[in-house]
Structure 1
Amino acid sequence: MHIYYYDENFMYTGEGIISEYDEMPKNATDVGLPKGLYLPKYNEGKREWSESATQEYIESMQPEPPLPNDITTLKKQVALLTLQLSQLQRGGAS
């Protein structure tokens, strides 16, 4: 049986497997952990996991947007220069 451990504050600490004949440890549950939680916290009364992270913490865990690489930057510059050149050849910007 798959089990989920929590500490004295009911915060998730890991997972394990026990035999169906073993007794459930005091600091564990067989209630599945939903995906997408940053700091899971267990509620014994409701027998459910919930998010305990603040919005600020969640936002800090998001990856930074990637910086454009050199090739992408060069492609944009070439496209802009090509447009400007075609406008000049037609007698100026339209």
Structure 2
Amino acid sequence: MHVFYYDENYMYAGEEYVNTDVLPPNSTNIKWDPSILNPRFDKKKNAWIEAATEEYKESIKPIESAPSKFELLEKQFADLFYVVATGGE
């Protein structure tokens, strides 16, 4: 059986396969949704919930890179084509 461990604060603490039908202490066989960044087990709901704060979520968002030279040229070409197609208006 595949089990997921949680610590004393119910935060995810690892996983492993065990050769038993009985769950070890501080574990569950319930997998969390992959969209959860920082899983914490809620024993009352018998489900994993999100423990990450909004501040943490914002801090790990990738920084948008500046457009490449090719992307800039592509936009300029599209703008120029629009001007020519509309008769210079």
Instruction: State the TM-score, normalizing by the size of structure 2.
Output: 0.76
Which residue identity is paired with 1:64? I
Distance 2:30 2:74 in 1: 52
Matched, 1:6 2:34: no
* Bigger CA radius of gyration: 1
CA shift for structure 1 position 39: 0.9
Distance 1:34 1:76 in 2: 39
Which residue identity is paired with 2:33? P
After superposition, give the CA deviation of every residue in 1:52-82 in whole Å (9 maximum; x if it has no partner): 1112211222222342111111222234455
CA shift for structure 1 position 83: 5.4
Listed as ranges, the gaps of 5+ residues in structure 2 are none
Identity %: 35
Distance 1:78 1:46 in 2: 56
Residue 40 of structure 1 corresponds to 39
Moved beyond 4 Å, runs of 4+: 81-84
Instruction: State the TM-score, normalizing by the size of structure 1.
Output: 0.72
Listed as ranges, the gaps of 5+ residues in structure 1 are none
- Secondary structure of the residue aligned to 2:55 is helix
- Aligned positions, number: 88
The question of whether the paired residues in 2 share the 8 Å contact of 1:4 and 1:33 is answered with no
Residue 31 of structure 1 corresponds to 30
Distance 1:17 1:67 in 2: 45
